Amino acid sequence: MKLRIVLLSVVATLTALPAAAADTVKIGFVTTLTTPAGAIGRDMVEAANIALDHIGHKMGGKDVEFIVEDDGFKPEIGKQKTDKLVKQDDVDFITGFIWSHVLLASKKSALDGGKFLISANAGPSPLAGKACHKNFFSSSWQNDQNPMATGEVLNSKGVKKLYIMSPNYAAGKNMVSGVERTFKGEVVGKDMTKWGKDMQLDFSAELAKAKASGADAIFVFYPGPAGPAFIKQYEQAGLRGKIPLYTVFTVDALSLTRLQKAGLGGVLGSWNTMFWAPDLDNATNKRFVADFKAKTGRYPTHYAAQAYDAIMLIKSGVDAVDGNTDDQDGIRTAMSKADFPSVRGKYRYGPNHFPIQNFYLRTVKADANGDWFVSYVSTVLTDHQDTYHDQCHL
Partner 1 sequence: MSLPTLTLRGFVTALMLVILALVPRLVDLTGNAFLIDLATRCVILAIAAVSLNLILGYGRMISFGHAAYLGIGAYAVGIPVYYEIYNGYLHILLAMVISAAFALATGLVCLRTRGVNFIMITMAFAQMVFFTFVSMEEYGGDDGLVIEVRSEFSRFINLEDATVLYYVCFASLLVVLYLVKRIINSRFGMVIRGTRGNELRMQSLGFDTFRYKLICYVISGTICGFAGALLGNFTNFISPEMMDWTRSGELIFMVVLGGAGSLFGPVLGVSVFLLLEEFLSGLWLYWQLVFGIFLILVVLFANGGIDSWLSGRSKRSHDS
Partner 2 sequence: MNWTLLAVQLLNGLQLGILLFLLASGLTLIFGIMDVVNLAHGSLYMAGAFLCATFTQWFDSFLLGLLAALPAVAIIGLLVELIVIRRLYQRDHLDHVLATFGLILAFDALTQMIWGPDGQVIPLPAWLDGQVMLTADIVLPTYRLAIITTGLLVGIGLFVLVTRTRLGMRIRAGATNRTMISALGINIGMLFSIVFGIGAVLAGLAGMMIAPITEASIGMGNQIIIVAFVVIVIGGIGSIKGAFIAAILVGLIDTMGRSYLDVLFKLFMSAQNAETSAPAISAMLIYILMAVILAVRPTGLFGPRGH
What is the nearest approach in angstroms of partner 1 to the Cβ of residue 231? 23
- Binding mask of the shown chain, residues 23 to 42, with x at each position contacting partner 1 by CB under 8 A: ----------xx--------
- What single string gives the DSSP state of each residue in 138-167? ESS--TTHHHHHHHHHHHHTT--EEEEEEE
Determine the longest span between alpha carbons in the chain, in angstroms.
80
Among 24, 49, 155, 168, binds partner 1 (CB under 8 A): 168
Decide: is 262 part of the binding site for partner 2 (CB under 8 A).
yes
Give the closest residue to 30 by CA, choosing from 106, 92, 88, 89: 106
Q: Are 301 and 278 within 8 A, CB to CB? A: no
In the chain, which residue ranges form alpha helices assigned H by DSSP? Answer: 2-16, 38-54, 75-87, 100-112, 125-128, 145-156, 170-182, 204-212, 226-236, 253-261, 283-296, 302-320, 328-336
- Please list, in sequence order, all residues whose beta carbon lies within 8 angstroms of the beta carbon of residue 6, skipping any fewer than 6 positions away: none
Closest approach, Cβ 127 to partner 1, in A, equals: 12
Task: Give 89's contacts (C-beta < 8 A, 6+ positions apart).
Answer: 26, 28, 67
Binding map of partner 2 across residues 127-146, x = CB under 8 A, - = no contact: --------------------
Of 42 and 332, the one with the shorter C-beta distance to partner 2 is 42
Q: Which of 39, 52, 253, 381 binds partner 2 (CB under 8 A)?
A: 39
Of the two residues 178 and 350, which places its CB atom closer to partner 2 in the complex? Answer: 178
- Looking at residues 169 to 188 of the shown chain, list those that interact with partner 1 (rule: CB under 8 A): 169-170
195 contributes a contact to partner 1 by CB under 8 A:
yes
**Residue choice 54, 84, 161, 211 for contact with partner 1 (CB under 8 A):** 84
- Indicate the residue type of 386: D
**Single-letter amino acid, residue 211:** K
Cβ(60)–Cβ(67) below 8 Å: no
Scanning residues 62 to 81, which ones bind partner 1 (CB under 8 A)?
70, 74-76, 79
Cα three-residue angle 353-357-363, rounded to 5 degrees: 135
Q: Taking a C-beta distance cutoff of 8 angstroms, is the pair 75, 101 a contact?
A: yes
In the list partner 2, partner 1, none, the entry touching 181 (Cβ below 5 to 8 angstroms by class) is none
Residue 104: which of partner 2, partner 1, none does it interact with, CB under 5 to 8 A by kind? partner 1
One residue of 6, 11, 212, 283 binding partner 1 per CB under 8 A: 6
Q: How many Cβ atoms sit within 10 Å of the Cβ of residue 290?
A: 10
Amino acid at 356: I
**Which positions from 160 through 219 interact with partner 2, judged by CB under 8 A?**
168, 190-194, 197-198, 201-202, 204-206, 208-209, 212
Write out the residues near partner 1 by the rule CB under 8 A.
Answer: 2-3, 6, 10, 13-14, 16-19, 21, 33-34, 70, 74-76, 79, 83-84, 87-88, 100-101, 104-105, 108-109, 168-170, 194-196
Write out the residues near partner 2 by the rule CB under 8 A.
Answer: 33-36, 38-39, 42, 168, 190-194, 197-198, 201-202, 204-206, 208-209, 212, 225, 228-229, 232-233, 235-238, 258, 261-263
